[in-house]
Amino acid sequence: MPLLTRWYIKSALTYLVAALVLAVLLALPNTINLPSFVRYMNPAYFHLFLVGWVTQMIFGVIYWMFPIITRARPRGNEQIGWVSYTFLNVGLLLRVIGEPLTSTSPEAGYGWLLAVSALLQWLAAVLFVYLAWPRVKEKYRGE
C-alpha cells in the first residue's frame, strides 16, 4: 500500500472519530453547559464527516487501487498527490476552526478562513482529479 494511501486512510479514520465525538456533543441537550462555539460546529461536523472521512477514504483507495499508468510511474506524479492531501487537510482544519469563530464573532472578520478553506479544498479536489484521470482507461497497454 503506498504511503500516500496510508496517510489518506489514517486521516480519514481520525476524522471519523472526531466527527462522531462532535456529533455526540452536538446531540447533548442545551441544559448541559458547553462552550458556546460547540453549538456552532454543525457545519464543521458535516465537513469532518464528508470531507474528512468519506472523501479522504475515497481518495486513498483510488490512489491505491486504480489501474497503473505506466510501470515507471504507476500512480502518476506523487508530488501532486501530496499537495492535494495537504490542501484538503489544511482546508478542512481551517473550516473546523473558522466556522465557530465566524459564527460567534462575525464582527471580528474571520470569514477569510472559510474562503481560504473552500479554495484549498476545491484545489485539492481538482489536483486529485488531474492525478487520477489518466488512470481511468479501458485497458492497460503495457507502457
Which tens digit of pLDDT belongs to each residue from 100-143?
888 778 787 888 999 999 999 999 999 999 999 988 876 655 55
Contact by Cβ (8 Å): 59, 119: no
Evaluate whether residue 140 is within a structural domain. no
pLDDT of residue 72: 79
Percent of the chain with pLDDT over 90: 57
Domain count along the chain: 1
Evaluate whether residue 92 is within a structural domain. yes
* pTM of structure: 0.87
Evaluate whether residue 141 is within a structural domain. no
pLDDT of residue 31: 75
pLDDT of residue 141: 57
- The boundaries of the domain holding residue 86 are 3-135
Contact by Cβ (8 Å): 25, 40: no
